[in-house]
Amino acid sequence: MWVPELLFFIYYSVSCSAQENALPVPSVHLQSQWSEVFPSELVTLNCDIQSEDWAIVWYRDEQEVPDSSVTLSEENKILNFNALSHSQSGQYSCKGRRKTNASVSTTRSNAVQITVQEQKLNPAITIDGNLRNIFVGESFKLRCSVREQSLWKYVWYRDGTIIHRSSEEEHIVGSAAVTDTGNYHCRIKRGGVTVSSDSNTISVQVTDVPTPTVKLLSPWSDVIMKEKVLLRCETLGPDWTFSWFKDGQAASSPNLKVTDQGGAQLTITAVSKSLQRKYTCRAQHNTRHVLSAQSQPVTITVHDTPKPTLSKTPALPRLYIGETVTFSCAVSLSGGWTFKWFRDDVEIGRSDPTLSITLGRSDAGGYSCKALRGTGGETHTSDKMTQAVSDVPTPTVKLLSPWSDVIMNEEVLLRCETLGPDWTFSWFKDGQAASSPNLKVTDQGGAQLTITAVSKSLQGKYTCRAQHNTRHVLSAQSQPVTITVHDTPKPTLSKTPALPSLYIGETVTFSCAVSLSGGWTFKWFRDDVEIGRSDPTLSITLGQSDAGGYSCKALRGTGGETHTSDKMTQAVSEVPVPQLKALTPWLDVFPSEAVVLGCEASSAPHDWTYEWMKDGQKMLSPSHHTLNINSASAADVGQYKCRAVLKGRRVTTSFSTGLALTVYTEKPQPLLVQSPDYSTLFPQEPLSLHCRITESSGWHFVWYKNNVQLPSTAEKYEVKSPDATHSGSYSCQARRGQIHSFSTDLSHEKKVEIRKDAPVPVLSQLPDVDTVYMGEIVIFYCKLNLSSDWEYHWYKHNQNIPVVSDSYSIIVNATHGQREVYKCKAKRKKTLFETESQEKHITISDIPIPSVKSLTQWLDVFPMETVKLHCGMETGASDWIYIWNRDGRTIAQNEQSTQRNQNGSVLTIVSSVSLAGQYCCMAKHRRRPVNSINSSAIRLQVYDEKPRVTLVQDPKEKTFYTDDPVSFSCGVNVSSGWEYSWYKNNVFLEFGPNHTIRHVHTSHSGDYKCLAGRGPFQTDHSQSAIIQVKERPSASVLLLTGWSEVFSTDSLVLQCEARDSEDKDWEFQWFKGDEKIEQPLSYEHTVTPQNDPDQSQYMCQGVRSGRPSYTKHSQPLKTTNLLLKRRVLLSISGCLVFGLFTVFLGCIVLRVFRKQDAKLVHVVDQEKPEEVDLFLTTAELSKHAPNPMAEYITDEDLTGIETKDDENGTVDCDTTLLPRASEENQATPSESNCATGNSEMVSFKH
């Protein structure tokens, strides 16, 4: 039973072993070109397994590669993925699993290492010489550099536009134009994929070569003989050298000197007529090959030496001293003249073209002038002009009135007299022009001055001055006449006796006196009523009616009248009743306060003695007219009276009326009040304190600050504009009385703080930004925390806004770009003190409109191409988030095939036909309720099929010959931005839109195709272009001149033939060295000593009208001493033949004479060695000679053979030496035996 099972087990094991041994081994190949790739490059791996029964499984670093991260072909044999991150790096391998039995797998394939760089290349762009400012026509070279080496393709940009693509890292702009100005940067591609970021940017400015300007440094361009002129050539910047031109020709003259750095200045010394020309300059850069155009010309005009014209104003031959004469010196040529002035041929100075002289006696004489300018510029002297000078006459003033000291309102007459007519007079008082309504100028020319109603202001020294009516001549002032004007005098009135009051019956005498003497009469007045005219005294016996005020007045002449004297009152009365008065201002007093009472019987109280009574009781007090109570008390309260007795006269008055005195029981205390009651005040805010006391009156006040007395005594202490020094504790005290002062107790203290600086309200804004958008709500807040009782007012552009509040809101509604200025003021309600905040400036702006641009180079794309669109604001882009629309509909955040960055500014689209359309965006502010309108739209076009690639070959031949040129160009009929790659027999060649082979060879035969791509997208291959390259036929040079012609000619005949060609229509052109020989096409060419004395190399080439149109050049043939060599060889050969012939004859002679049999002779003939071939063919010569060039000989060479004479003068052939051959022909024998007479031997071997 166990035997079958054992047999089955053995069979199964053998079968499995056989199957295991038969499993295929997969292998992995990298189909893309590089194993080290950069982001966005495509990696393609192929897993090759020799069977169709296997499913492929891919691995990266021993981990199975998920299908979602790569693109797999059918049956998973080809793996594709776009390089995105370094995590895709690793060892890639594969293995097969049997489709019918997944448990059966092959072994793992070989591993291919793929490295994905984390970042793209970072190229650096530089410019040779670091020269950024280029002139038109100059060249400059840009270089795009990276450290890594590969088959890079360089793309150059100017202002963001592609300008060049190449496989070279340098880009040369050969002849710069203004359009080459811009910002340059580069990118690097490989395999049609951009593998670098943008390089740095280099700004290049191409400008026209600046044209210099000639500047005339001399102030004039029209010059006179011998003047010096300076010209300067100016251009932008340093580093220029200048050339000067006169009328377009190079400026050259002993009087033309070029100075300054680089020849920038041209000095024309000692100008002559021959130097008047148009002068220009031209600039050449010192370090660069840049030459400017010639400048605009400056014309220099040279005139003959002029003679000035002299004139004067006024044109009178004689003038008075003090008159001004102006001489004018005029030159017909304008510009930069200074003038020399002469009087009687003596230089009197240099000045402007005019000379003004205020004439003195020494200024008389003959005047002339001369003009000068610059260096060497001098005119002739003008003609003389004579000027005479005389003194001006002085007038005299006469007083026509009888006296010079007058009183007010009198009249005075003065007269001014001079010699001759034609004068007008001016009057002066104290040296100043006389002007007053009371001054009247009369008589012809104002010769008489009448002073009417003389006043005090009109007194002084009067003079006159005469001025000529027709000339500016003014005399000196006359000697003065002094007019003394006295105030209208007031008489002095006196009386005897000098008592103010007299009784009826007494006599009084009045006297009236005037200080000025002269004919006075007097008027007397009582109570302003004239009582008569008399002498200066008036005596009156007084009656009751004579009481009154007496005065007097004095009169003389016409208008002479004094003031009325002061009144002197004379009282006539009965004995008076005394008056009792309180001499202190109050009769209600406080304890210890003083009281003074006064009793007066008349206006002269000291002429009386007094008696005092209190409450009807006579007081024991002095008989003085005052009663003093120095310290009042309750005992002093009562009714007081008095009466008077006239001294020296027995007259006693009655008692006066009584006065009641009241005394309070205690001192009062004042009340200190501040208004307004602010403990803290600010600059310009008034300080007002009021010290109040309600009892009695007559108080004055004493003020204290910090217990230090202040100078104020008013009831109120006020400071309109206090400062910090007024801060402190204030108190007050009331006082009254002067001799015996009474003071109250101090009031309570009032503490006041005065701030040095005005407080500034804090103005805040929500939102707190400088620029706000139309329609936004802005709220301002104003706050002042210091002190209290504030109210807030608002201002816009310093105009009051009728809002009183600590906040203010606005809805922005203004034009774009308008700036608005807001501020607030805090005001005290009681003092109206105000302080304003800092201004808040806000700029009104329209809500910006975002702009959309494409970050990819094209907007017409194909399915699966990636397009990036950017939405952004010009400024503050980070403050916004962006929302995208396609064809008017908002694109959802999670829409398939689209991605966005964090703020939505970049929209990435994986293209499909359904995603084509008009794209626009709008922006929302991150922190403020502001939304923009939609941007302008950008159109995305998506094609529904791949584009067609067209390959063009030039020329359109199928067969080429070596060294032929051929070029291929590749193009796509739609869109742009394509990168092209070339393949030969499906093997990659290079990148670029063209593939050019300048000189083909047989290895270039094959099948050529191209492929277009951009980014990861690629087209299909183009159609094939198959070419075959054949070897080009070659030419060969043959020497036709034979051995038989060696001694009969001195020229060589060359023949050219085409090898390896079945065509028979070849014609040939010949070359001597590298130069073509100008002769008709021919297969032969003859070389003679005349046309080739230097023994050159010769080549030929075949040409024809068909293809191939020309052959290769033949190998060169050098014609150096070829005939000489042949002649030497023939001579040597002759010697050898002659020697052999001699030996042969000798043998025959020996045979005959020694009777040798004929057989021996026959044997000798058979054993004769074969003749040596000493004559070489042309082909053998070319093979054996070190240099393949042949040689020929001239007659001059034949004369150089050296011979040696023996003793008898014959030639020894055994010792004759041949000429020494050149190094390249040392294979030719140099020494041989010879025989005479062999020069006629000819070789027939060809």
Distance CA 1070, CA 1077 (A): 6
Comparison of pLDDT for 899 and 1171, the residue scoring more: 899
The pLDDT tens digits of the residues spanning 1177-1231 come to: 444 444 443 333 333 434 444 333 333 333 333 333 333 333 333 333 433 333 3
Confidence of residue 483 (pLDDT cuts 50, 70, 90): confident
CA distances from 503 to 507, 605, 652, 899, 981 (A): 10, 17, 15, 132, 152
The β-bridge partners of 1117 are 1098
Q: Is the pLDDT of residue 344 over 60?
A: yes
Identify whether 1093 is preceded by a cis peptide bond (ω within 30 of 0): no
pLDDT the model gives residue 891: 92
Nearest alpha-carbon partner for 853 in 967, 923, 966, 937: 937
Q: Phi and psi (nearest 5°) for 1019?
A: -85, 175
Distance CA 863, CA 961 (A): 44
pLDDT the model gives residue 403: 67
Report the sign of the C-alpha dihedral through residues 373, 378, 379, 385, in that order. positive
Structure tokens at 591: 């304890």
pLDDT the model gives residue 200: 94
* Highest-scoring range by mean pLDDT, 69-73, 443-447, 688-692: 688-692
- Give the range among 260-264, 286-290, 1026-1030, 1108-1112 with minimum mean pLDDT: 260-264
Confidence of residue 197 (pLDDT cuts 50, 70, 90): very high
Domains 213-303 and 492-572 share a fold: yes
Fold of 1034-1246: Immunoglobulin-like (2.60.40)
Mean pLDDT for the chain?
A: 83
DSSP string, 36-71: EE-TT-EEEEEEE-S-SSEEEEEEETTEEPPGGGSE
- Give 148: exposed, middle or buried? Use CB within 10 Å, 0-12, 13-18, 19+: middle
Distance CA 526, CA 513 (A): 17
* Mean pLDDT of the region 478-487: 86
Q: Look up tokens 């036929």; give the residue.
A: 1033
Confidence of residue 411 (pLDDT cuts 50, 70, 90): confident
Q: Is the pLDDT of residue 981 over 90?
A: yes
Nearest alpha-carbon partner for 375 in 226, 494, 258: 226
Q: Is the CATH number 2.60.40.10 carried by domain 671-754?
A: yes
Share of the chain above pLDDT 90, in %: 31
CB atoms near residue 742 (< 10 Å): 21
Distance CA 1022, CA 982 (A): 10
pLDDT the model gives residue 1177: 43
The pLDDT tens digits of the residues spanning 130-154 come to: 888 899 988 999 999 998 888 899 9
pLDDT the model gives residue 505: 64
Distance CA 415, CA 399 (A): 7
Question: In CATH, what number does 396-486 get?
Answer: 2.60.40.10
DSSP state of 725: G
Fold of 949-1030: Immunoglobulin-like (2.60.40)
899 within 8 A of 816, measured Cβ to Cβ = no
Structure tokens at 1189: 């060039």
pLDDT the model gives residue 1200: 38
Distance CA 771, CA 578 (A): 91
Fold of 492-572: Immunoglobulin-like (2.60.40)
Distance CA 263, CA 804 (A): 76
1101 within 8 A of 1034, measured Cβ to Cβ = no
pLDDT the model gives residue 1123: 60
Show the beta-strand stretches assigned E in 956-1030.
Answer: 959-961, 966-972, 979-984, 987-991, 994-997, 1006-1014, 1017-1018, 1025-1030
Q: Is the pLDDT of residue 361 over 90?
A: no
Confidence of residue 1049 (pLDDT cuts 50, 70, 90): confident
CA distances from 161 to 183, 200, 790, 869, 894 (A): 10, 15, 65, 17, 34
The pLDDT tens digits of the residues spanning 545-583 come to: 888 999 999 887 666 788 899 999 888 877 778 888 888
What are the helix (H) ranges across 848-903?
none
The pLDDT tens digits of the residues spanning 307-319 come to: 899 999 888 888 8
Confidence of residue 858 (pLDDT cuts 50, 70, 90): confident
pLDDT the model gives residue 1201: 35
The pLDDT tens digits of the residues spanning 150-191 come to: 889 999 999 999 999 999 999 999 889 999 999 999 999 998
pLDDT the model gives residue 999: 94
128 within 8 A of 140, measured Cβ to Cβ = yes
* Mean pLDDT of the region 807-830: 85
The pLDDT tens digits of the residues spanning 997-1037 come to: 999 999 999 999 999 998 888 899 999 999 999 999 999 99
Q: Is the pLDDT of residue 383 over 50?
A: yes
Comparison of pLDDT for 460 and 271, the residue scoring more: 460
Q: Is the pLDDT of residue 586 over 90?
A: no
* Domain 213-303 CATH class label: mainly beta
Structure tokens at 1204: 């040696």
691 within 8 A of 716, measured Cβ to Cβ = yes
* Mean pLDDT of the region 1072-1084: 88
Rg, the chain, Cα only: 69
Distance CA 636, CA 629 (A): 8
Q: Is the CATH number 2.60.40.10 carried by domain 309-390?
A: yes
Query: 3-state DSSP call for residue 1045?
Result: helix
1038 within 8 A of 1021, measured Cβ to Cβ = no
pLDDT the model gives residue 1194: 41
The pLDDT tens digits of the residues spanning 219-233 come to: 776 788 878 888 899
Report the sign of the C-alpha dihedral through residues 1081, 1087, 1088, 1093, in that order. positive
pLDDT the model gives residue 1182: 44
Q: What is the pTM of this model?
A: 0.35
User: Which residue type occupies 12?
Assistant: Y
pLDDT the model gives residue 535: 81
Distance CA 593, CA 736 (A): 9
Q: Enumerate residues 6+ apart whose C-beta is below 8 A from 292.
A: 209, 210, 211, 212, 235, 282, 283, 284
Question: In CATH, what number does 124-207 get?
Answer: 2.60.40.10
Element (H, E) at 1139: helix 1122-1153
785: left (phi over 0), alpha (psi -120 to 50) or beta: alpha
Fold of 762-845: Immunoglobulin-like (2.60.40)
- Give the range among 600-609, 968-977, 1224-1233 with minimum mean pLDDT: 1224-1233
Q: Is the pLDDT of residue 274 over 60?
A: yes
- Give the range among 2-11, 179-188, 777-786 with minimum mean pLDDT: 2-11
Fold of 579-663: Immunoglobulin-like (2.60.40)
Instruction: Show me where the domains of the chain are located.
Output: 23-116, 124-207, 213-303, 309-390, 396-486, 492-572, 579-663, 671-754, 762-845, 851-942, 949-1030, 1034-1246
Query: 3-state DSSP call for residue 895?
Result: coil
pLDDT the model gives residue 763: 92
Axis crossing angle, helix 1122-1153 with helix 1158-1166, rounded to the nearest 10: 160
3-state SS string for 322-378: CCEEEEEEECCCCCCCEEEEEECCEEEEEECCEEEEECCHHHCEEEEEEEEECCCEE
Nearest alpha-carbon partner for 228 in 283, 166, 270, 286: 270
Architecture (CATH level 2) of domain 851-942: Sandwich (2.60)
Q: Is the pLDDT of residue 739 over 90?
A: no
* Highest-scoring range by mean pLDDT, 417-421, 653-657, 809-813, 991-995: 991-995
* Mean pLDDT of the region 484-512: 81
Question: In CATH, what number does 23-116 get?
Answer: 2.60.40.10
